[in-house]
Amino acid sequence: MSQSKSQSKLFGLKSMLVSKLRDYEQLVKFRLNLTVVFSAAFGYLMAVGSAIDGMSLLMLSVGGFLVTSSANAINQIIEKDYDLQMKRTADRPLATGRMDLTEGVLAAGIFGLSGLLLLWYFLNPITALLSAISLISYAFVYTPLKRYSTIAVFAGAIPGALPVLIGWVAATGAGGMNFIAFTLFSIQFLWQFPHFWAIGWLGYDDYKKAGFKLLPIEYDGRNKGTAIQMMIYIVATILVSILPFVFQLTSFASLAVVLILGAYFMYTCFRLIINCDRSSALKVMFASLLYLPLVQIALVLDLIF
């Protein structure tokens, strides 16, 4: 009987631990967080080429993950009441009350401070400074702004693209920032507009419930005007993505990847312009998810090998 009670208690503790870990996975937006770390690693690798310092790259990844975790946690602290109104976010731990607000604030503070200290100590002050700017602008500018203005996507695109520069300066310091660094930043900055507008199109009804304004045209922006603006940014993204080849940093191999993926990206948006429907918007989002990481991988591999 005693053994049965012990096993039951152990099972209960294990269940609680798994549940808590899942809550933290949602709090820090784990999968999204990994894409941010990937972008920072991309910037670092583009700066150093094959001369990789494993410890620096590790500290950049860990520190970046912690800072991004803090930003995502603050985002959910601010939006917990709005998250509850949307199907996509209604099960988040702060929205449901599974996690106490005090715990969320404490976690955000610990993540942010420890991440910034790691970046400062193991890398350099400018890396920590840019990371702090990214955290603050995402959590305290973009997050509240998206309920008041369609310009929120522009505001959010800045911290969304900063990880590339953060990775670059982690390798080079502030003095190492150059035209190529800002070109890589610009690719990610411009790419975010069609990507997030596609998401805003797909989740329009949900976002409307919470009062979020994520499309460039405020009143039901699911129309040709929005689709045409998406195409403009897609073309701009492709043109900027060609610049590493133009300046002879990379070869025809990565240029071919840019052109093939870019052509598919444009085609999906062209279909959205014609159809203005959910199915076409989904394809644009899928094309955007293919474009950025594959182009970044192609540029890095081309540079290193």
Whether residues 114 and 165 fall in one domain: yes
Domain-located, residue 131: yes
What is the structure's pLDDT at 8?
65
Confidence of residue 218 (pLDDT cuts 50, 70, 90): confident
pLDDT, the chain, mean: 94
Confidence of residue 178 (pLDDT cuts 50, 70, 90): very high
Whether residues 214 and 92 fall in one domain: no
Whether residues 136 and 267 fall in one domain: no
The tally of domains found in the chain comes to 2
Whether residues 167 and 27 fall in one domain: yes
Give the model confidence (pLDDT) of 160-175 as tens digits: 999 999 999 999 988 8
CA 204 to chain centre: 20
Three-state secondary structure readout of the chain: CHHHHHHHHHHHHHHHHHHHHHHHHHHCCHHHHHHHHHHHHHHHHHHHCCCCCHHHHHHHHHHHHHHHHHHHHHHHHHCHHHHCCCCCCCCCHHHHCCCCHHHHHHHHHHHHHHHHHHHHHHCCHHHHHHHHHHHHHHHHHHHHHCCCCCCHHHHHHHHHHHHHHHHHHHHHCHHHCCHHHHHHHHHHHHHHHHHHHHHHHHCHHHHHHHCCCCCCCCCCCCCHHHHHHHHHHHHHHHHHHHHHHHCCCCCHHHHHHHHHHHHHHHHHHHHHHHHCCHHHHHHHHHHHHHHHHHHHHHHHHHHHC
Domain-located, residue 2: no
Whether residues 214 and 241 fall in one domain: yes
- The residues near 259 (Cβ < 8 Å, ≥ 6 apart) are 238
Nearest partner of 276 among 235, 217, 188, 209, judged by Cα: 217
Whether residues 128 and 213 fall in one domain: no
Whether residues 159 and 212 fall in one domain: no
Confidence of residue 3 (pLDDT cuts 50, 70, 90): low
Domain-located, residue 107: yes
Domain-located, residue 214: yes
Give the model confidence (pLDDT) of 247-295 as tens digits: 999 999 999 999 999 999 999 999 999 999 999 999 999 999 999 999 9
Q: Can you give the C-alpha Rg of the chain in angstroms?
A: 21
For the chain, percent of residues with pLDDT exceeding 90: 86
Q: What does the pLDDT average to over 94-122?
A: 97
pTM of the entire predicted model: 0.94
Give the model confidence (pLDDT) of 143-155 as tens digits: 999 999 989 999 9
What is the structure's pLDDT at 15?
78
Whether residues 36 and 136 fall in one domain: yes
Query: Is the alpha carbon torsion for 259, 278, 233, 193 positive or negative?
Result: negative
Whether residues 126 and 167 fall in one domain: yes
From 174, 194, 222, the end of a domain falls on 174
Whether residues 137 and 211 fall in one domain: no
- The residues near 304 (Cβ < 8 Å, ≥ 6 apart) are 45, 49, 50
Confidence of residue 296 (pLDDT cuts 50, 70, 90): very high
Whether residues 41 and 153 fall in one domain: yes
Inform me whether the pLDDT recorded for 158 exceeds 80. yes
**Distance (Å, whole) CA 95 – CA 80:** 5
Confidence of residue 2 (pLDDT cuts 50, 70, 90): low
What is the structure's pLDDT at 220?
82
Inform me whether the pLDDT recorded for 10 exceeds 70. no
Confidence of residue 219 (pLDDT cuts 50, 70, 90): confident
What is the structure's pLDDT at 50?
86
**Distance (Å, whole) CA 136 – CA 191:** 21
Q: What does the pLDDT average to over 295-303?
A: 96
Q: Report residue 251: phi and psi, to 5°.
A: -110, -170
Q: Which domain holds residue 228?
A: 178-305
